Amino acid sequence: MTGLGDLYQDVILDHNKRPRNFGKVPDANRTARGHNPLCGDHITLTLKVDGDRIEEIAFEGQGCAISKASASLMTSAVKGKSRSEAAALFDAFRKMVTGEPHSPEDRKVMGKLEVFSGVSEFPARVKCATLAWHTLKGALESPGNTVTTE
């Protein structure tokens, strides 16, 4: 049984306090905003996409520790990845935080993102953890739109 203490693991607390890739990509060619009305989390992503590859990615916004740490870890995880690699990561991440069975291959690609596995025990937090990922999808598929988790 995972407790709330485990949910707020050191990695999450650290990324909340010192978020990576926080700010704006200066020569971004993609942007999307995300909003999780349940918790009040807001995020704006800026990306520089070159062909199929996410060259640069940064985020700004306000929200709870989970949403901020997730955005920080998400941007670190997808930087330099292709769209399909990012989509595969999102798929594996979504399965993990919603408690769906995921394969050993999924676990392998997760890396540090695995710190969010405890979120599956807190359904209200799932939207906090996936907000950045939904926003990324929005930025890649329909840039300029606001993505909401509702």
Residue 36 CB, nearest approach to Zn ion (Å): 6
Residue 66 CB, nearest approach to Zn ion (Å): 5
Taking the least distance from each CB to Zn ion, the nearer of 68 and 137 is 68
Ramachandran region, residue 92 (left: φ > 0; alpha: ψ -120 to 50; beta: rest): alpha
Taking the least distance from each CB to Zn ion, the nearer of 61 and 138 is 61
Tell me how far CA of residue 82 lies from CA of 57, 64, 136, in angstroms: 12, 28, 12
Give the 3-state secondary structure of residue 112.
helix
By CB under 5 A, name the binding residues for Zn ion.
Answer: 39, 41, 64, 67, 128
Taking the least distance from each CB to Zn ion, the nearer of 54 and 131 is 131
The type of residue at 141 is E
β-bridge partners, 41: 36
Taking the least distance from each CB to Zn ion, the nearer of 41 and 114 is 41
